Amino acid sequence: MVRCIDANGNQIGVIPIGQARQLAEAAGLDLVEIAPNADPPVCRIMDYGRYKYEQEKREKQSRQSHTAGKVKEIKFHVNVEEHDYQTKLRHVREFIAEGHRVKITLVFRGRESMHQELGYEILNRLLRDCEDIAMPIQVPTSMGRMLVMMLGPRRGARAAAQKSSAPSGASVASGPLARS
């Protein structure tokens, strides 16, 4: 005895398995066991080939949506000037807003490696400056002559970042060629 569901999703009821097979053959479909552990087991009349195809299609699409973007890399040095820092910060924020992950690499040259605390200060400052749209995937880690940190977009922060980058209150007649 099995609980049978037809191709439209309507319950036929509890019937012998032989009768369920006959119903499936009459409809030109397959009898598929959905819940083998139920009492009685649940079977459904469906096109199994089409079901498998749609399931693979959904899995493929979910895999594509999970790979949210590429990994972009930005390199810093310990003695980065303020303007260079702001430019690189702007690039990091743009990459995060596009949905990419960003690998931040701080490279030490020569005797700079003796003062790794300065590198940690720069990476922590960058983390504070991006905390509204980014979250750390990998905290700052020392790898030889480098400090490496990975940032990823926060959920819901992409829309907020795009809104903040749009000019607010700009009118059509503004700019260098506008006349008053």
What does the domain layout of the chain look like in residue ranges?
2-47, 71-165
Token representation of residue 2: 């099995």
Whole-prediction pTM value? 0.52
- Fold match, 2-47 / 71-165: no
Q: Which residue has the tokens 């749209």?
A: 133
Per-residue pLDDT of 54-88, as tens digits, reads 999 988 887 766 655 688 999 999 999 999 999 99
Going through the chain in order, the beta strands assigned E by DSSP cover: 2-5, 11-15, 30-35, 42-46, 71-77, 101-107, 134-143, 146-153
Per-residue pLDDT of 87-107, as tens digits, reads 999 999 999 998 889 999 999
CATH class of 71-165: alpha beta
Q: Quick check: 150 and 104 in contact, CB under 8 A?
A: yes
- Fold entry, domain 2-47: Ubiquitin-like (UB roll) (3.10.20)
